[in-house]
Structure 1
C-alpha cells in the first residue's frame, strides 16, 4: 500500500503493481480496482479506456497522489505528476498567464522566470498574445489550452532533476463540441511530441483513444482490472479502422458482462 519515487534507471514514468482500491469497510465496502498492473514509459502516450464506473478516474487519482491504494504499489519516476481534468478549473480572477504561473509559483520558481516560462507555454498551445485575457474572455477550447499549459508547467517543472515528466488527463475534451475537440486532440499530439511528456489519458471514446494513444489499455467493469491492451501508434487508416472495431467489440463485451452481473 505504497506510493514511492523510483530512483533507479528511468525505464518507467509510473508503474502500478497489484493495485487495489476499496471504498468503505465491512459489508458495505465497494471495490473500485482489483489487482491492476500497469506501467507507462517515459514519453509514452497511454489511453485508459473502459465503461463508466470502472475505476479509470480512481486510478488516475491514485497516481496523482490525491488518494492512496488499499493495497499494492505505485512507483513514480517524478515527484510532481500534473493533472488536467474535464473542466479547465482556472482561477477566474487571474489572467491566462497568471493561471499558468500559479503552477510554477507553487514549485518555487522566481517571478521573472515564471513570466518567461508561462509565455513560452502559452505560445506552445497557440495562445501567444492572449496571456492578459481572463478566463471569461476566452472560449471553452481556449480555456482548456490554458489548462494544458498550466499542467505542462507543473509536469515539466517537476522533472527538472532529469526524471520523466508525467501528465495525467481525465477526459479533458469531453465537454467540448466535436469540432473543438478534434482540433484540441491534434494540438495535444503536437504538444506531446514536442515535449516528450509521458501521458496517461482517461477516456470512454474508442476513436479518441486510438487517435491519441500509442497504447490503449482496457479496464473491466468494476472492480477495474486490466483485461486487454493494444499497440495503436502510427497505424495506417485501414489498420486504425480495424483497431477501433476490435476495441469497440471488447468494450461492448465488458459492458455486457457488467449489465448481466
Structure 2
C-alpha cells in the first residue's frame, strides 16, 4: 500500500482505530483555534484538526511554526485566544524532550509518583511501576537512580511515567530529539510496539521528517508563522517500519520538499 497525500482543504480521514468502534468520539477535536501572545501576527491561525481514537499523528513544521504551542493548548497548559479544543478521553499525558525525572528518586519511585497523583493505592504502586518498567523494557531498573541511567533509559522511564497516568491520549514534544541516532531508532521501535498493544492516541511533535514518516499513521504539516494546517499525508505503510525503508525515504523526500516550500514562502513575507 502506498502513502497518500491530502491538502489542508481536502483532508482524508484516517483509518478507524484498532479495536474501537468507527463511531467512537474523537480523541481530540481542535476547532478553528487561534493563538496570539500579543504580537501583530498570531502564532497559530484557524487550526482545525481531529485525531481519532487510537490514531498516531505526527505534527511537523519548521522551528517557530507553533507545533509546541499547539501541543500545550491540547495539554491544557495554555488556552486558545479563540476557538476551542475538545478531549474525548480526559486529561492527556505529556512527555517532553527533557525527561524531567526527579533525580533524588529512583526510576520506580518516579513512576510511583504519577501513580499516587492518579489515586492508585499505595499497596499496588510498586507492582504497577514494575509492570510499566517491564513494558518499556527496563525490568530490574526499579531501584536505579537517574544518574545511573543513560539518556535513552531516562526517556524510557519518562515514557513509563506518562503511561502511568492511564490516559487515552499521549502528547509527545520531540521526546527523542536529544538522543543519538541508534538510541532514537531503538526508542522508535519501542514506542511503536507499545502503541500497537494499546488503544493510545498519540500526537507527536517533531521537526524530523523521517521520524514523522517512520512513526505516524498521519503526518500534519504546519505552515510557518502563523501556523496553519498546510497539508496532510496519510501514511499507508504497515508497521513496523524502518527509517531506512525505501518507501519511508520516498515519502520523506516529498514532505521535505513541501516543508522547504513553506519555509521559502515564509521568507518572502
TM-score by length of structure 2 reads 0.87
The answer (yes or no) to whether the contact 1:232–1:240 under 8 Å persists in 2 is: no
CA contact (8 A) 1:44 1:198 kept: yes
Q: Pick from 84, 103, 117: which aligns with 2:114?
A: 103
Report the equivalent of 2:86: 75
Q: Does 1:22 align with 2:36?
A: yes
What corresponds to 1:162 in structure 2? none
The separation in 1 between residues aligned to 2:194 and 2:105, in whole angstroms, is 24
What residue is the counterpart of 2:7 in the other structure?
none
Partner SS, residue 43 of structure 2: strand
Q: Partner of 2:128 in structure 1? A: 117
Q: Which residue of 2 aligns with 1:166?
A: 169
Alignment partners' CA distance in 1, 2:41 and 2:37: 5
Deviation at 1:240? 2.7
Tell me the distance in 2 between the aligned counterparts of 1:178 and 1:240: 16
Deviation at 1:233, TM superposition (A): 3.9
Matched, 1:142 2:153: yes
Residues 210 and 248, structure 2, Cα contact 8 Å, conserved in 1: no
| Aligned match of 1:89 | 100
Find the counterpart in structure 1 of residue 248 from structure 2.
240
| 2:267 aligned residue | 259
Q: What is the rounded CA distance, in whole Å, between the counterparts of 1:143 and 1:171 in structure 2? A: 14
Inter-partner Cα distance in structure 1 for 2:246 and 2:96: 32
CA distance in structure 2 between the partners assigned to 1:97 and 1:131 by the alignment? 4
Cα offsets for 1:52-95 (capped at 9, x unmatched)? 00000000000000000000010001222000000000000111
Which of 196, 205, 224 in structure 1 is aligned with 2:199?
196
Give how far 1:196 is off: 2.2
For residue 3 of structure 1, what is the aligned residue in structure 2? none
Listed one character per residue, the Cα deviations across residues 195-250 of structure 1 (whole Å, up to 9, x for unaligned) are 22100000000100000000000000011000100011425944333211110110
Q: Aligned in 2, Cα 1:230/1:37: closer, same or farther, shift over 3 Å?
A: same
CA contact (8 A) 1:19 1:35 kept: yes
Aligned partners of 2:213 and 2:219 also within 8 Å: yes
Corresponding position: 1:34 with 2:45: yes
Q: Are residues 1:181 and 2:189 paired?
A: no
Aligned equivalent of 2:20:
none
Q: Deviations over 1:9-48 (max 9, x none)?
A: 6331111010000002xxx444110000111111110000
TM-score normalized by the length of structure 1: 0.90
- Partners of 1:200 and 1:225 lie apart in 2 by 16
